[in-house]
Amino acid sequence: MLCIKQGAALLVSAALGLGAACSAAVAADMAALPRKAPPPSPFVLDVHGFVDVTFKNTSVTPRGLMVREYSGLTSQVANGLALDVYKDPAGFINGISFYAGTWNDIWSKNNDPVVGSWAEFDWWVGMSVKFARHWKFGVEYVEFLSPTTVTTSFPATERNFEFSLAYDDSHWGNPIVINPYVKLFYAASGPSTVVLGKRGGTYDIEIGMVPTFDTKKYSGVPLIFSAPTWITVGPKDYWNRQDGTTNFCGLLSNAPCATSNAGVFSTGLQGKYMLEQAIPKRLGSWYVKGGFQYYHIINEALLGAQVLTGAAGGASGVAGTFPNAHKDIVVGYGGFGFTF
């Protein structure tokens, strides 16, 4: 009996010793294995920017206001910076960015006695949020300022907010990407952004899309075609405040302008050629571009506004006449720029 007890004790001791040895070996192996790196932080600090220079035969705002007649050269320079602060491809919120920029409008026939060809200066700040992988929401504050002193220019700062929602359908895999979007443009204060409309506290809505075809995917040529298309709608007083000071329609340019909830329909075609073979990527992504944008003016008050901007047969500082207003407008343009 004593022998059996001693044998059992020896077996237990041996098992414990083996277990300890195995545990030590496993611990040594685990120590030798590389540890998995923690996931990268979604909080980043990436800077992007752009410069764009465009030359046009005239100028029309996205809301359908033709700001000058077909004469001279219109040069427009836009630039901006964006700061990405959050990126998480796997989460519901995929990215957050803050941005700011400026825009200058220069017209060769502005003829201002103080600032010469400088016709308008705009600046903006905003933020955008990418979410659910394919959606982007944006909010922006923008001011329109006129340094010019001619009578056909708006007399004070226009303060506005713009809210946007866009969908990126490129993941569908179709040759042409549609890129639908909607924007709410809120004119907070200042003169009417369409001249004859309500002065502040009003809005319009832009419903659009930017069909895009990238030929590089199929031919290797770095040429991108796009067709920006939209229509604007909103309350009637956005375009015509009807306060007794907006009668610029009719044969004599003194009749009341008809009211409508629609503003302008626009479509166009642009070709953008990337200069990646000529300019190194470290110097930015450079391009040249050219195309046209067609505007069909739906709202009669926008035609009446051309009397005051000089676009209806007038000139810098000279009013036009309603019979000469342009219901259908084609803006041709070309330019260059880069992003980084």
- Rounded to an integer, the average pLDDT of 42-63 is 97
Query: Given this model, what pLDDT does residue 162 score?
Result: 98
Report residue 34's pLDDT band, with 50, 70 and 90 as the boundaries. low
Residue 40 is predicted with a pLDDT of 84
Q: Is the pLDDT of residue 199 over 70?
A: yes
pLDDT computed for residue 26 by the predictor: 43
All structural domains of the chain, each given as residue ranges with its CATH number in brackets, are 44-339 (2.40.230.20)
Beta carbons within 8 Å of 280's beta carbon, 6+ residues apart = none
Tell me the pTM. Answer: 0.88
Going through 43-170 in order, the beta strands assigned E by DSSP cover 43-56, 74-87, 93-107, 118-131, 135-145, 158-167
83, β-bridge pairs: 47, 98
> Taking a C-beta distance cutoff of 8 angstroms, is the pair 32, 57 a contact?
no
pLDDT for residue 316 = 78
Q: What angle do CA 42, 48, 53 make, to 5 degrees?
A: 155
User: For 117-122, what is the mean pLDDT?
Assistant: 96
Average the pLDDT over 144-162 and give the result.
Answer: 87
Give the pLDDT band (50/70/90) at residue 157. very high
Lowest mean pLDDT among 19-28, 205-214, 234-243: 19-28
Local confidence band at 3 (pLDDT 50, 70, 90 cut-offs): very low
Q: What is the mean pLDDT of residues 233-247?
A: 97
Q: What is the pLDDT of residue 11?
A: 33
Is pLDDT above 50 for 9?
Answer: no
At 32 the pLDDT is 54
CA distance 186 to 286: 33
The answer, yes or no, to whether residue 30 has pLDDT greater than 90, is no
Is residue 325 within 8 Å of 303, Cβ to Cβ? Answer: yes
Mean pLDDT for 148-163 is 86
Whether 240 has a pLDDT exceeding 50, the answer reads yes
